[in-house]
Structure 1
């Protein structure tokens, strides 16, 4: 385990010094908060166009409306942000040419790939916590009411949605490895978002069985996604994390 621990420590230090991750964190957290407050304000004022776009969420008010809107934005925008960040973290090794030096290290390349995924999960936890705390502060600032049991439950679902959305971006790491760069990972992330949207539109009654769509449905539509359906989400990061580690282990410089 020592090589893996060393790899995680190195990747974590690189992440903490990264302007890309800091900027992505700020843009995601601030973006969701600003968009959520704007949409909540417009819906509260009775803006017909906004209410039509919100659909069933338009019937909510107070904390339920704020957390619902934030969940809707996080499900799509969060996946894009997490996927782009992970694609950059993996793809930059190829774009900058630093992958050549990794072959000379005593740490197995598969351990380096796993370390990148571990750091991504840690960053996801930090971002999800920051987003939830920001939304809680925003709700208090908007005087939506006290942080009672039901509200804490709504914020807890938002926190879980952020965590699940972050780990669903793991396929981007595999795509960035196979494509030897950032863009294949970004393309894979966009594909994930499109696939989730298509599943919800094409088969709304069975979309809970689709891991890419289940977290958002669980956060937005209580009771429509069972725990065993939500548990299937774990298969995505586990499967694609293993594929990423295998791809790094078999990595060759000539192809």
Structure 2
């Protein structure tokens, strides 16, 4: 346990001193602010002027109340999470390869499995922080612009859906970690994260019946944001998601254990 804690501390120190950490936190806070701005414009349509694009964006906000705004935040984390969390995972696992210091890391008196676990622990903490940043900044902006229809019960229920959707999205980061390892860099895993988001939208539009069996569509089905007209997530859906997550973790651990890292 002491070895794991020391490894987690070392990985955390790398993150705290990196520009990537600040950039991601600021970006998620910025996105929450922009969602609040859209809501503000929805309540003051004269600010949109003759901008058809801005008017179209504000038209999707429904009644412009807290229920609509919280639903929007859930949509944002479902869309932003795969890419944001994927970039975090790519950075954590690909940084040593990109900087050509992977062999130095492996020379430390720490088991490779401990290194892998510590990296996933840091990714989890980082993703939770980004998730909370998005939601709390959204709440702050919503209160600041005085969105009507506040309900503590609705906020709590939305928060639970928001967090659980983020956790399901995080579980799908393990294949990204595996690709970062085998490609020894950032590009392939980030491209894979973007591809999964594109495929999820394609499946939702063109092949909705397979959504419960497509791992990257399951968080959206869980959240209910996809709508009642689409198939609902079943027990087999979560089983598939967990299997994919475990497979990605095992693949990553096996790569670190058996592959030539030099």
> TM-score if structure 1 supplies the norm length?
0.85
Q: Offset of 1:83 from its aligned partner?
A: 0.9
8 Å CA contact 2:212, 2:234 repeated in 1: no
**Pairs aligned (count):** 252
Q: Offset of 1:178 from its aligned partner?
A: 0.4
Alignment correspondent of 2:221: 217
Q: Offset of 1:162 from its aligned partner?
A: 2.8
Alignment correspondent of 1:80: 83
8 Å CA contact 1:25, 1:127 repeated in 2: yes
Instruction: Specify the SS of the correspondent of 2:100.
Output: coil
8 Å CA contact 1:58, 1:65 repeated in 2: yes
Alignment correspondent of 2:35: 36
8 Å CA contact 2:39, 2:61 repeated in 1: no
In structure 2, C-alpha distance between the alignment counterparts of 1:42 and 1:204, rounded to whole Å: 33
Q: Which moved more, 1:100-109 or 1:169-178?
A: 100-109
Instruction: Specify the SS of the correspondent of 2:109.
Output: coil
Instruction: Specify the SS of the correspondent of 1:79.
Output: helix
Q: 1:189-219 deviations in whole A, cap 9, x for unaligned?
A: 1122122112211222441332211212332
Q: 1:110-142 deviations in whole A, cap 9, x for unaligned?
A: 321221111101111122122221122222222
8 Å CA contact 2:41, 2:58 repeated in 1: no
Alignment correspondent of 1:134: 137
8 Å CA contact 2:33, 2:137 repeated in 1: no
Alignment correspondent of 2:22: 22
Structure 1 residues 139 and 75, CA, compared in 2 at 3 Å: closer, same or farther? same
Q: 1:33-74 deviations in whole A, cap 9, x for unaligned?
A: 13312333444539875676688x544431122122222222
In structure 1, C-alpha distance between the alignment counterparts of 2:150 and 2:28, rounded to whole Å: 25
Alignment correspondent of 1:235: 243
Structure 1 residues 113 and 229, CA, compared in 2 at 3 Å: closer, same or farther? same
Instruction: Specify the SS of the correspondent of 1:87.
Output: helix
1:104 aligns with 2:107: yes
Instruction: Specify the SS of the correspondent of 1:212.
Output: helix
Instruction: Specify the SS of the correspondent of 2:215.
Output: coil
> TM-score if structure 2 supplies the norm length?
0.83
- Is there any run of 5+ residues in structure 1 with no aligned partner, and where? none
